[in-house]
Structure 1
Amino acid sequence: MGDDGQFHAQDEAVDLSATPVEAWVALGFFWLLGLTVFYQFVTRYVLNDSAAWTEEIARYFLIGTVFTGAAIGVAKNNHIQVDFFYRHLPQAVCRWLSRLVDVLRIAFFGAAVALTAQMMLRLNNARMTIVDLPMNLVYGVCLLGFAAMLARSVWVMKVHLKRGYSVLERPESTMEDRA
């Protein structure tokens, strides 16, 4: 309410400068997925002549959205976690357990990058079912997603080490909290 007794609504300024690259890539895949599904809808229900390639391509755009979007979850450090034991164990034990979680996360994503690269090498010339494109395009997106998750995991561990605690030790904290 203003001094004149009227309600004045003002939008806050939108600041997208803190949006990570992964979020823009995931948004791009999401829009491509939406456009593909819309095209599928139009060809199937309006033109009564369904485009066969849309099912396959939509699936691959969904895979791209998931793998690039998962890197955002790693960067925000808000994937599923159990903090029950951190409430009941001594602080020193919790600190070492949270460091172990960071190291295991990095090891997991490192292994995922290596295994995906190996699979891409073995698939070599495999093609998509309907669209005549190499399947390594899809697995390349998965590889880049895993690599982004690996890089973000290293960054998260550096943040945890710098500030001296992780979100497991202090559940009320976020990655935006700085020491």
Structure 2
Amino acid sequence: MQDSPEFSHPEIDLSQMDTASEDLSDVSPLDIPVIILFVVLILIVATQFFTRYVLNDSLGWTEEMARYLLIVLGFVGSVTCVRKGSHIYLEFFYRYVPRGAIKPMAVTVEIITGFFFGYLGYLGLAMVERTAGQKMITVPWPKAIIWYVVMAACVAMVLYTIRNIVRLIHTDAEDVAHNKLENF
């Protein structure tokens, strides 16, 4: 049976695929905590896997620590995303507004996200107060440690958002429009 055109598989052009790069120029010393947390998380999950499926005797603390490290990694990693301006956003809106409206729209979006991160930090403070006397189940550490890290990450995101707003304000509107539309 011969393949019809609508079911044929086109050749894969490997030259068009993204490849891993050895260029680490965008990695900053500020990214070191994220890398350390990620490596520790990998080691804990590997330990969990090894003890559960190889030794058939799981260590109880690995699941709880992996859960809390994943929470911390999400927030600390978000600081890096805010610093680099690489959080996801709805880019298509920039395509449909006049070029002169892109800069005010970008500044407005940064202001809204800054308030959002600030509110998350405030909620983190509330969680610190609620969990101040509680210990983790399998490790004798206070649960508030997690919320202190979340709160600190939210404060850092607010500070980077303020920096992004100042940069946007001091950047020419045409350059902002070009940067927002260059992916299309």
Q: Same fold (TM over 0.5)?
A: yes
Counterpart of 2:150 in structure 1 is: 142
Verify: 1:68 aligned to 2:59, yes or no. no
TM-score, normalization: structure 2?
A: 0.75
How many residue pairs end up in the alignment? Answer: 162
- Shift, 1:133, TM fit: 1.4
Q: Are the structure 2 counterparts of residues 145 and 167 from structure 1 closer, same or farther at C-alpha, using a change threshold of 3 Å?
A: farther
Which of the numbers 126, 136, 139 marks the counterpart of 1:128? 136
Give TM-score scaled by structure 1 length. Answer: 0.77
* CA-CA distance at 1:48 after TM superposition: 2.6
Is residue 115 from structure 1 mapped to residue 123 from structure 2 by the alignment? yes
Q: What are the residue-to-residue correspondences of 1:5-24 with 2, within 5 Å?
A: 19-24=27-32
Superposition deviation, residue 13 in structure 1: 8.6
Please tell me whether the aligned partners of residues 120 and 154 of structure 2 are also in contact (alpha carbons under 8 angstroms): yes
d(CA) in 1 for partners of 2:30 and 2:142?
23
Unaligned runs of 5+ in 1: 1-11, 175-179
- What's the offset of the Cα at 1:23? 1.7
Secondary structure of 1:169's aligned partner: helix
Partner of 1:80: 88
Corresponding letter in the other structure for 2:61: W
**Does the CA-based 8 Å contact 2:102-2:173 persist in structure 1?**
no
Change in 2 beyond 3 A, CA 1:96/1:21: same
Please show how residues 165-176 of structure 1 align to structure 2 within 5 Å: 165=173, 169-170=177-178, 171-172=180-181
1:93-127 deviation per Cα after TM superposition (whole angstroms, max 9, x unaligned)? 33222221111111111111112112211222122
Provide runs of 4+ in structure 1 moved above 6 Å: none
Query: Which residue is 2:67 aligned to?
Result: 59
Which of 93, 98, 110 is the aligned partner of 2:106? Answer: 98
User: Structure 2: how far apart are the matches of 1:61 and 1:43?
Assistant: 19
Which residue identity does 2:103 align to in structure 1? R
Secondary structure of 1:163's counterpart equals: coil
Q: In structure 1, how many angstroms separate the alpha carbons of the residues matched to 2:141 and 2:173?
A: 47
Taking a change above 3 Å as real, the CA distance of residues 31 and 91 of structure 1, as seen in their structure-2 partners, is same
Contact kept, 8 Å, 1:160 with 1:166, in 2: the verdict is no
State the percentage of identical aligned residues.
29
Decide whether the 8 Å contact of 1:23 with 1:68 is kept in 2: no
Aligned-partner residue type, residue 152 of structure 2: L
Seen in structure 2, the aligned counterparts of structure 1 residues 45 and 160 have a Cα distance that, compared at 3 Å, is same
Helix, strand or coil: the match of 1:81? coil
Higher helix proportion, which one? 2
Contact 2:103 2:168 in 1 (8 A): no
Q: CA RMSD in A?
A: 2.6
| Per-residue Cα deviation, 1:110-169 (whole angstroms, up to 9, x for no partner) | 111112112211222122122221111111121122122112111211221222349873
Letter in 2 for 1:148: A
The gaps in structure 2 that reach 5 residues or longer are 1-20
